[in-house]
Amino acid sequence: MTDLPGGPSLPQERRLVTAIPGPKSQELMARKRAAVAEGVGTVMPVFARRAGGGIVEDVDGNALIDFGSGIAVTSVGNSAEAVVRRASAQLAQFTHTCAMVTPYEGYVEVCEELARLTPGDHPKKSALFNSGAEAVENAVKIARYATKRQAVVVFDHGYHGRTNLTMALTSKSMPYKHGFGPFAPEIYRMPVAYPFRWLTGPENCAEEAAAQVIDQIGKQVGAQNTAAILIEPLLGEGGFIEPARGFLPRIAQFAKDNGIVFIADEIQSGFCRTGQWFACEDEGIVPDLITTAKGIAGGLPLAAVTGRAELMDAAHMGGLGGTYGGNPVACAGALGAIETMREMDLAARARRIEEIMKPRLRAMAERFPVIGEVRGRGAMLAIELVEPGTKEPAPQATAALAKACHGQGLLVLTTGTYGNVMRFLPPLVIGEDLLGEGLDILEDALSTL
């Protein structure tokens, strides 16, 4: 094991020199247990030393194929050249002044880029924050202030964060909400168009789900009381659910017809991840507000709310912000990440990843009846595991599959309301040889279930 840096120069090959986890990772895990709160979990019990491209190397020298990207964060690859170059230059100039005290050009540049990149050609403005949950919380604040209404409509299987308000917006109890209440009021949850689990079949899903949502808003909430409808265009923690085509346009039109702010939560699906800059573009959705984070800054903490200028300007001066929001180093990283996405056409790279992965995954589904469905778009793909011959969720098989993959040096993540979905979020710069090798490991692991 050498002392070379990570990033693009890291050798792009899987290498196992110890069992997973190795002795150094085990030592560090013992230190973690002694010093870090138990509530901070670990997916894979190895400690990273360096990373780049499609590889994460641990402290024992094992080089792991990365199908997680730090949960869709390092889409441009770890320590991408433009991210490091721009962030390093900013570090040498200043690390913080607070944008609300003495602003700086980087903050403005990021907001200008967001106005150009997000859907719609209407005038837009942005506000920058630190995390996805913070972005969602501020989007709700803006919608409530602008409409003078209070109710917020969200959806089954949705995930929006871990703050008090965003826990209320999130549908899954364990581990996100259990024991942490009471939660913020005036949140109303509606059915989502989940084709695989729609009782009357996927062909009826979009129309029936949209009709149910509109009917329930009318009966339970009142459109005139609804400030915002908030949804992930491709649901993340709920299991990489693609709402049936036609559902989102109908809900967006209902919002428009009733003066309701339509918020697209693109925190996991944005920035080229699904083969387009933003997932809502797939059906031509132009949201009133869009929340972003994760892939925006190449691994540095940054988030944003971007939307119609008149909405973004509704809140009074000082009503939006935060000490660290739009940190100058994170803004520089974001400009580097966006530069990389453009120059490498990472939206096209995401589509190429889908072209490679989806046929292999579908072939596995034919071979292994434990796979109930293959779904997703671009480099945001998933398999839902079920008890063979049924649609009964199989969370234990999913956990066993993840453990088997980890043991062979493939970093994968599980997800889903029922804990039975394996999601694949490789860096968009991953090599095709590593993609193929990772899929080979997955297929071998499936054969052991």
Per-residue pLDDT of 11-33, as tens digits, reads: 999 999 999 999 999 999 999 99
Beta-carbon count within 10 A of 442 CB = 24
Residue 66 and residue 68: Cα distance in Å, rounded? 5
> What's the pLDDT tens digit per position in 55-71?
999 999 999 999 999 99
- Angle at Cα 282 formed by Cα 278 and Cα 283, nearest 5°? 125
For the chain, how far is it from start to end, CA to CA, in angstroms? 34
pLDDT at 6: 87
Asked if 360 contacts 446 with a C-beta cutoff of 8 angstroms, the reply is no
Listing from the earlier edge strand, what are the strands of the sheet with 55-58? 48-52, 55-58, 63-66, 410-411
- Looking at the chain, the number of H-run helices and the number of E-run strands are 13, 15
45 band by pLDDT with thresholds 50, 70 and 90 = very high
Using the predicted structure, report yes or no on whether residue 2 has a pLDDT greater than 60.
Answer: no
This prediction has a pTM of 0.96
Residues in CB range of 138: below 8 A, 6 or more apart: 127, 129, 305, 320
259 band by pLDDT with thresholds 50, 70 and 90 = very high
Residue 387 and residue 393: Cα distance in Å, rounded? 6
User: Which residue has 């003078």 as its token pair?
Assistant: 148
Q: Which residues of 318-338 are buried (b: 16+ CB within 10 A; e: fewer)?
A: eebbbebbbbbbbbbbbbbbb
Q: Transcribe 204-266 into DSSP letters.
A: HHHHHHHHHHHHHIIIII-GGGEEEEEE-SSBTTTTSB-PPTTHHHHHHHHHHHTT-EEEEE-
Using the predicted structure, report yes or no on whether residue 1 has a pLDDT greater than 50.
Answer: no
Average pLDDT on 366-384 reads 98
**Dihedral over alpha carbons 267, 373, 438, 6 (to 10 degrees):** 0
> What's the pLDDT tens digit per position in 146-199?
999 999 999 999 999 999 999 999 998 889 999 998 999 999 999 999 999 999
> What's the pLDDT tens digit per position in 379-411?
999 999 999 999 999 999 999 999 999 999 999
Asked if 236 contacts 425 with a C-beta cutoff of 8 angstroms, the reply is no
pLDDT at 3: 65
Average pLDDT on 240-268 reads 98
pLDDT at 174: 86
Q: Are strands 226-231 and 151-155 parallel, antiparallel or unpaired?
A: parallel
Residue 180 and residue 184: Cα distance in Å, rounded? 11
Which amino acid does the sequence have at 201?
Answer: G
Extract the tokens encoding 438: 């990772």
Average pLDDT on 95-122 reads 98
> What's the pLDDT tens digit per position in 416-430?
999 999 999 999 999
